[in-house]
Amino acid sequence: MTADVRWAIAWMRDTAAKIAEHKAELTTLDREIGDGDHGENLNRGFTALLAKLDELTSEPATVGEVFKLAATTLMSTVGGASGPLYGTAFLRAAKAADTPELTPADVVAVIESALGGLVLRGKAAVGEKTMIDAWTPALEAAKAAEAAGSDAGEVLRAAADAAAQGALDTIPLKATKGRASYLGDRSMGHKDPGAASTALILESAAHTVN
């Protein structure tokens, strides 16, 4: 598959399935360093998105339209810190995806825009133990893959693998943003739930295109 409108829909559907499958795991991670609602929050949002996709009467014209639907749905249903964050990320990504099919450079632009939206909204930097620590290495890997001449699927695969590693790399970090920061040193030794969900979302993106 190419990174086209059908892929964008398949990506959102696969993410919904993955989030449902990993709901308990995300919630457990959030119970360790937060308030234990991250799995529930995202599952509520992506379940709502599935319903919105089912209601579509015609195929969206651009990848961006799919992302915009994701953005508005997640923003109004997820709640917590992650709802507005992912909502803003997809809204920004939509603007970089105003096309029926993403080129490798468009894939990089989508990830860069999503990360830009997250930083604008959450004001977190790398190393503060948030989802930024998954998106940032994902962007770096995507850029490197694109520069090396990879196709859109390979760029997404590089981003997904780097996000998974980035999520693992949050384990030793001390949280200084979000709810987990209330724990101080006790946040160390646990994977950040938002970085873990980002890894799932980007894994879905790569899985559905390849």
Query: Between residue 83 and residue 142, which ones bind ligand ADP under the rule CB under 6 A?
Result: 85, 118, 122-124, 130-132
Contacts of 56 (CB under 8 A, 6+ apart): none
Among 6, 52, 174, 177, binds ligand ADP (CB under 6 A): 177
Q: Is residue 45 involved in binding ligand ADP (CB under 6 A)? A: no
Q: Is residue 191 involved in binding ligand ADP (CB under 6 A)? A: no
Evaluate the CA torsion angle 128, 33, 172, 107 in order and state its sign. negative
* DSSP assigned state of 128: S
Evaluate the CA torsion angle 10, 131, 171, 144 in order and state its sign. positive
Longest C-alpha distance within the chain, in Å? 51
Q: Is residue 22 involved in binding ligand ADP (CB under 6 A)? A: no
In the complex with ligand ADP, the residue whose CB is nearer, 35 or 59, is 35
The letter for the amino acid at 121 is R
Among 4, 14, 37, 106, binds ligand ADP (CB under 6 A): 37
Binding site for ligand ADP (CB under 6 A): 30, 34-35, 37-38, 41, 80-82, 85, 118, 122-124, 130-132, 177-179, 192-195
